[in-house]
Structure 1
Amino acid sequence: MSDALEKTSEVVCDNNNISDDQTIQLNPGNGACTYHVGSGTDEVSHLLSTPQVTENNGEQHIVDVDDVSNGSSTETSKWRRELRSLKTELNQVVVWKLRLWVVILLIFLVITLVIGISVIVCAVIDDDDGDENYDKSSFVVERFFRGNFTLDNSSTSYSLDQETLLEQLEQKLTGVYSSSPALERYFSIATINHLQDTTAQFKIKFMMPSEHEELVRYTLSLKMVKNVLVQHLYDQDTGDPLYIIPTSLSMELG
């Protein structure tokens, strides 16, 4: 035969988006026959075996259920292993046949107990102020201050006789120093020596212990004793019948 005859036949089947390509090639010249079946069926079969999730926008995402299950199982197993490891460590015997969790509990209890005792001790110390415990009989050294002040002209004290007025002025000075937290323990007596018109002369006596160097420098200094009285005078009610003019006060040692 002078010319080779070739004949090719293709059969394509389409069923539900599944393509099956078959190609038959005949070569009469040499008697060879080639038969080819496309791989479309295998590809479609593979796609059908994979779950598909279709969203509203028409896109498709492939979700591997096996991978999700395996990941969740791995996390659960890891968490369980850690929990078992923690339980094992807490149940270990560490000292005196005591397990670790018992030792931790005892430590917390001891810390709580120490804090509670500290709070109670501090409260007791605050209530029992050491400065309140003193022996006044040990105050044997005298310290005097003297000065004068002027009563207000509008005061109703003029309606009183002089003896009553002197007594009330002494009570007023006594009340000032006997109510002072700093000076009350050292205060002894306050007297009005002379009253002329609206001006009164006074004398204040304090008692100190034998060792009083720091005391006379600070607590019983002239500045401290005078400031206590000045502060009281500025706090007076203007309607007080024994109103003393604060700026009229003068004081010195002696």
Structure 2
Amino acid sequence: MSVVLELESLKAACDNNNDPGDQGNEVIPGNGSCTYHIGSGTDEVSNLLSTTPQATENNGMQHEVDGVDAYTDSQTETSKWRRELLSLKTELNEVVVWNLKLWMVILLVVFTIALVIGISLIVCAVIDDDGDENYDKSSFVVKRFFRGNFTLDNSSFTSDREMLQVHYASELTEVYSSSPALERYFSNVTINHLQDTTAQFTLQFMMPSDHEELVRYTLSLKMVRNVLFQHLNDQDTGDPFYIIPTSLRMEGEYT
């Protein structure tokens, strides 16, 4: 009697090798498995299959969150610029003095600066009055003479002495008439004598009554001589009326 009870309890236990009905219910074949393990295996497989959709769903959610973050940053930056513009607009509309707002004061300052610059340019260009340029030549009543001589180059000397006198008188007149410092005082030049290759000349200048400073500086012997000497140095050596620069001699005197 006790033997039968032992067999029945063994039969209730897992024995896949002896029970054909249990074999038909097996999901995963294998020795030593039972219906309890079959159920557990199904749950495990279900859990494993469900992991892939979860991962996909999680990736989609993460992507959506990144997009929301970028959009939020853009909105924040736009709001910041709007706040700055509103702040600037508020500052410009503040009343600074009397009923003038800040933007009005800025425009007024810019306009004033431009107006001052424009007036200054007009004054400099149109009303530039150099007192030294205003003089009355009729007040130059005092004469000052300079006498001197120079030697002509032999190759340029000709027998037509009258023609030479006219030419050199014209040349010296051009030299002093074009001098910025001396032209207002220059009166005339005369070629007094032409002997051999040497020409003698006289320069006449007119000065105002108050001429002490002129004699000392502008109409000094050194100044008048240097103007002519510079011209002689600038000559072309091939000039048919060439004057030897080092031959120039000059002295000054009143009349």
* Structure 2 length-normalised TM: 0.71
- Are 2:48 and 1:14 aligned? yes
Letter in 1 for 2:116: V
CA pair 17-159 structure 1, distance change in 2 beyond 3 A: farther
Letter in 2 for 1:81: R
Report the Cα distance in structure 1 between the residues aligned to 2:203 and 2:211, rounded to whole angstroms.
18
CA pair 223-48 structure 1, distance change in 2 beyond 3 A: same
CA pair 49-222 structure 1, distance change in 2 beyond 3 A: same
CA pair 47-142 structure 1, distance change in 2 beyond 3 A: same
Report the Cα distance in structure 1 between the residues aligned to 2:67 and 2:60, rounded to whole angstroms.
14
Q: CA deviation at 1:199?
A: 0.5
The gaps in structure 2 that reach 5 residues or longer are 1-35
In structure 2, the partner of 1:158 is 158
Report the Cα distance in structure 1 between the residues aligned to 2:239 and 2:175, rounded to whole angstroms.
15
The gaps in structure 1 that reach 5 residues or longer are 1-6, 20-40, 53-62
RMSD: 2.8
CA pair 17-134 structure 1, distance change in 2 beyond 3 A: same
List structure 1 runs of 4+ shifted beyond 6 angstroms. Answer: 7-10
In structure 2, the partner of 1:71 is 73
Q: CA deviation at 1:133?
A: 1.4
Report the Cα distance in structure 2 between the residues aligned to 1:134 and 1:166, rounded to whole angstroms.
33
Q: CA deviation at 1:168?
A: 3.1
CA pair 191-48 structure 1, distance change in 2 beyond 3 A: closer
1:88-116: per-residue Cα shift (whole Å, max 9, x none)?
Answer: 22223333423322222222112111111
Q: Percent identity?
A: 68
SS in 2 for 1:205: strand
In structure 2, the partner of 1:97 is 99
In structure 1, the partner of 2:143 is 142
SS in 1 for 2:210: coil
Report the Cα distance in structure 1 between the residues aligned to 2:240 and 2:130, rounded to whole angstroms.
38
In structure 1, the partner of 2:119 is 117
Report the Cα distance in structure 2 between the residues aligned to 1:15 and 1:226, rounded to whole angstroms.
118
In structure 2, the partner of 1:87 is 89
Report the Cα distance in structure 2 between the residues aligned to 1:237 and 1:66, rounded to whole angstroms.
89
Q: CA deviation at 1:147?
A: 1.3
Match of 2:63 among 36, 43, 51: 51
Report the Cα distance in structure 1 between the residues aligned to 2:250 and 2:207, rounded to whole angstroms.
19
- Are 2:241 and 1:231 aligned? no
SS in 2 for 1:195: strand
CA pair 169-66 structure 1, distance change in 2 beyond 3 A: same
* Structure 1 length-normalised TM: 0.71
More strand by share: 1
Letter in 1 for 2:61: S
SS in 1 for 2:200: strand
Q: CA deviation at 1:118?
A: 1.0
In structure 1, the partner of 2:179 is 180
Rg comparison, structure with higher value = 2
